[in-house]
Chains A and B, each alone.
Chain A
Amino acid sequence: MRDTAALSEMVVKEKQRPELRRRFIKNRALYMMILPGFLFFVIFKYIPMGGLVIAFQDYQPYNGIWNSPWVGWKHFERLFADQMFVTILRNTLLLFFLNLLFYFPVPIILALMLNEVRINIFKRVVQTVVYIPHFMSWVIIVSISFVMLSMDRGIINELFVMMGFEKVNFLMSTEWFRPMYVLQIIWREAGWGTIIYLAAMAAIDPGLYEAARIDGASRLRQIWHITLPSIRSVIVVLLILKIGDVLELGFEHIYLLLNSMNREVAEIFDTYVFTAGLRQGQFSYSTAVGFFKSIVGLILVISANWLSKKAGEEGIY
């Protein structure tokens, strides 16, 4: 009896509490589960954003954030006035679009092809082999391509000579930089990129294919009318996420490829920050450049998301 009295008392109290808190208490186990992730984002993603204020200061490490003098837009003015600014912005955006245009479809095509393979062992072997380059560092990939493309006994140039062509200066030309960049990305990342698509394809109801086969659809028709539409939302989400990384073109990769002869087409925000800012200990300027880059990225993500919603897809938020 006493138990039920206590219980009813609790229920009454519960009802008096606001709806939100009541739900919170009811689902506290679930909330506890998201806590680590939530803390991760607060501690490692949101709190460090406070550091962006140094873009508006003349930051000196020994003065700290609290004591460094405020200088307003000085560093942004310097960036926009810089001779290289237009070049850097153009290179960054251009490399990004090339990346999107040529690299992005490759994992989808590769995944479609792998999905059609019947012999399981063959499929797994190929899958593993195409993953492997992802685990090599850019230093190794760039070094390998240097050895192959060098004018001094590089294997590709030697082949050209044997076939009676002129040697091509791949490494130090403005024309070859972009293709080289995109091809290296495809070589390293394409296999890895297939994972999510393959997972999405595995989730497609086999009944659909059966029905299509009964209706006499060929393999290509099945891909076109069943596989692709089924993974369309995954493609869109990945595309928007990719755009989110818009300006993360890979500092390491570009920095390794960059030299005096191709700087005009290869210098991007990250490499510029490194030479003009960090190497000279100019933390504020580097931060200002990075800040600007992030804003460009944010604008692109928001517009991509907006476009995808317009097109009737889900978007990422």
Chain B
Amino acid sequence: MPKKKVSTVLAVVTAVAVMAGCSGNAGNQVTPTASQNTAGDATKAPEDTKKEPLKITMMANLQTTDVPDPTIEKMIEEATNTELDIQWVPTDSYEEKINASFATNTLPKATYVGNLNLLRDAIRNDQFWEIGPMLQDYPNLSKLSPDVLKNTSVDGKIYALYQERPLSRQGIIYRKDWADKLGIEAPTTTDEFFTMLERFTKEDPDGNNKNDTIGLADRNDLIYGAFKTVASWFGTPNNWGVRDGKLVPEFMTPEYMDTMNLFKRLHSAGYMNQDFPVTVKADQHNLIISGKAGVYVGSLGDVNALQPKIAELNPSGLLDVQNRVAAPGKEYGVWAIPGYGAVVLFPKSAVKTEEELRGILGFYDQMMSAEMANLTRWGIEGTHYTVEDGMAVDISERATFEREVKPYLSMQIGGISTIEGFLDLKREPLPAKAEELIKDNDNYLIHDPAVALDSAAFNQDGARLQELIKDATYNYMLGNIDEAGFQAAVDQWLKQGGQKIIDEFNASYAAAQ
């Protein structure tokens, strides 16, 4: 009994002593930290009156099939003192969901959208916060490119933060082993391009003595498929071109006609897949992977996905990439996107006060720090990636990465050119070459002069009228209509509202000059 009593007393004494020691320590440490904070950074709240975490609701695009693992979300919340409520919406239904939330006035505080045009009217009607003048107050947000911000602007005012995208990823991916076998160099002119497709079709490049290959694999997409990139080689403008000081739609230029003629020849000669207007991306990829087609025109980054799959089926299958191709008498050029992928807007219906908005901008400012950017892009160092030569190397399984890290990519703001210390991927030689070419493209960009211009007629009828042109373009390339038929479609376009679109864009263009 007494023995036990003694030990209890001892334990209590020790505990009290330890606690006293701790509190003494803590007291000593806290004071300088707090004073440092108040003195040092006026914008930050002092630690001892630790603010309630800021609640931010957001709707983000889920590009993977699984519900994301919340580990990284928790880490972000901790680092930024926020409480995130992320509603993940699958890519396919994202736009619909935005429309529905908008109609029911339930947009989240941070709303990501891919296409600003849908909301242009609403933005004009003062439904979203203008953030342009505030950006300079944030060390990281102020680094966002003014040019790209201008592309996201509405009537010259900036409402959105953007996710950076390379301006032009377009180029050719082709079967190097086939080209070597037939002694073909990488094409640099449209004629050489045509010859390559012809010989890939006719000269049995896979050496199986069967006439079972074609040159080009294309898909049902006039923009991200081959068409628009080939059009650039001919010098076709990007959606709108300036001719004699006036804006002209691309399909009214002779270069557009040249491009269609090339495709018409390729299609009728059988040098490309016959069903390309209805071929989906997966089938197009399969044509390349299965060794049925040898040339792919589109995003150079796709070589990352294509090469390993080809090698799986055919160990000698080797791809190479190429970008600079030009029609005779033309300079190489390649169409550019406006430099952003998605943007994030702040609806006034959800963000009630400027103070709240400032808080959210502060959150995104922190998200643009190297540490947070790397966390959302690469995951946790040591778990998902390691750093070699200042570049990131994936070390997690693909499925793990897709569940734990990849979804958070759609929250990212800015990108490699605007965030200092943001890690680039350490690549294999071939993808590294593709990346080089994407950078090289930056020197030859064809911009769309109408990106930030506005036309009410275009907003109302643009998409429907564009279908007319799309239909006519396909029908021309398949030989269903001739030049007169195509011209008739353009006349229809003009008559049904196209002329008005041209006039309005030109007025807007003149006003912006």
Please indicate the chain B residues that have their CB under 8 angstroms from the CB of A171 in the complex.
275, 278
Please indicate the chain B residues that have their CB under 8 angstroms from the CB of A169 in the complex.
274
Q: Does B142 contact A (CB under 8 A)?
A: no
Given contacts A151-B275, A280-B460, A281-B99, is CB(A62)–CB(B122) below 8 Å?
A: yes
Q: Does A146 contact B (CB under 8 A)?
A: yes
Q: State how many residues of chain B have any CB contact under 8 Å with chain A.
A: 38
Q: Does A218 contact B (CB under 8 A)?
A: no
Bound state CA distance, A153 and B279, in angstroms? 12
Given contacts A275-B463, A281-B99, is CB(A263)–CB(B471) below 8 Å?
A: yes
Question: In the complex, which residue of chain A has the Cβ closest to the Cβ of B349?
Answer: A62
Determine chain A's interface SS by DSSP, over half rule: loop
Q: Are A280 and B275 in contact (CB under 8 A)?
A: no
Q: Are A60 and B474 in contact (CB under 8 A)?
A: no
Please indicate the chain B residues that have their CB under 8 angstroms from the CB of A283 in the complex.
103
Question: In the complex, which residue of chain A has the Cβ closest to the Cβ of B467?
Answer: A275
CB distance from A282 to the nearest CB of B (A): 7
Neighbour of A152 across the interface among B105, B275, B462, CB < 8 A: B275
Q: Are A62 and B125 in contact (CB under 8 A)?
A: yes
CB distance from A96 to the nearest CB of B (A): 23
Please indicate the chain A residues that have their CB under 8 angstroms from the CB of B467 in the complex.
260, 263, 275
Q: Are B471 and A282 in contact (CB under 8 A)?
A: no
Q: Are A83 and B277 in contact (CB under 8 A)?
A: no
Bound state CA distance, A278 and B478, in angstroms? 30
Q: Are A280 and B462 in contact (CB under 8 A)?
A: yes
CB distance from B496 to the nearest CB of A (A): 6
Please indicate the chain A residues that have their CB under 8 angstroms from the CB of B473 in the complex.
260
CB distance from B293 to the nearest CB of A (A): 9
Q: Does A61 contact B (CB under 8 A)?
A: yes
Question: In the complex, which residue of chain A has the Cβ closest to the Cβ of B98?
Answer: A281
Instruction: Enumerate A135-184 residues with CB–CB distance to B below 8 Å.
Output: 146, 150-153, 167, 169, 171-172
Please indicate the chain B residues that have their CB under 8 angstroms from the CB of A10 in the complex.
none
Please indicate the chain A residues that have their CB under 8 angstroms from the CB of B119 in the complex.
281
Instruction: Enumerate B455-483 residues with CB–CB distance to A below 8 Å.
Output: 459-464, 467, 470-471, 473-475, 478, 480
Question: In the complex, which residue of chain B has the Cβ closest to the Cβ of A154?
Answer: B275
Q: Are B287 and A61 in contact (CB under 8 A)?
A: no
Q: Does A303 contact B (CB under 8 A)?
A: no
Please indicate the chain A residues that have their CB under 8 angstroms from the CB of B105 in the complex.
61-62
Chain B 30-55 interface 0/1 with A at a Cβ cutoff of 8 Å (1 = within): 00000000000000000000000000
Neighbour of A276 across the interface among B463, B480, B492, CB < 8 A: B463
Please indicate the chain A residues that have their CB under 8 angstroms from the CB of B496 in the complex.
83
CB distance from B40 to the nearest CB of A (A): 43
Given contacts A151-B274, A259-B277, A261-B474, is CB(A280)–CB(B464) below 8 Å?
A: yes
CB distance from A239 to the nearest CB of B (A): 34
Q: Does B127 contact A (CB under 8 A)?
A: yes
Q: Does B220 contact A (CB under 8 A)?
A: yes
Q: Are A172 and B277 in contact (CB under 8 A)?
A: yes
Please indicate the chain B residues that have their CB under 8 angstroms from the CB of A151 in the complex.
274-275
Bound state CA distance, A150 and B276, in angstroms? 10
Please indicate the chain A residues that have their CB under 8 angstroms from the CB of B475 in the complex.
260-261
Bound state CA distance, A56 and B101, in angstroms? 22
Q: Does A279 contact B (CB under 8 A)?
A: yes
Q: Are B118 and A260 in contact (CB under 8 A)?
A: no
Instruction: Enumerate A60-102 residues with CB–CB distance to B below 8 Å.
Output: 60-62, 83
Q: Does B444 contact A (CB under 8 A)?
A: no
Bound state CA distance, A168 and B478, in angstroms? 14
Q: Can you name 9 A-B residue pairings with CB atoms under 8 Å?
A: A61-B104, A61-B122, A151-B275, A152-B274, A259-B220, A263-B471, A275-B464, A276-B461, A280-B462
Given contacts A60-B121, A261-B475, A276-B464, 7 further A-B contacts (CB under 8 A): A61-B105, A151-B274, A152-B279, A260-B277, A276-B463, A280-B464, A281-B99
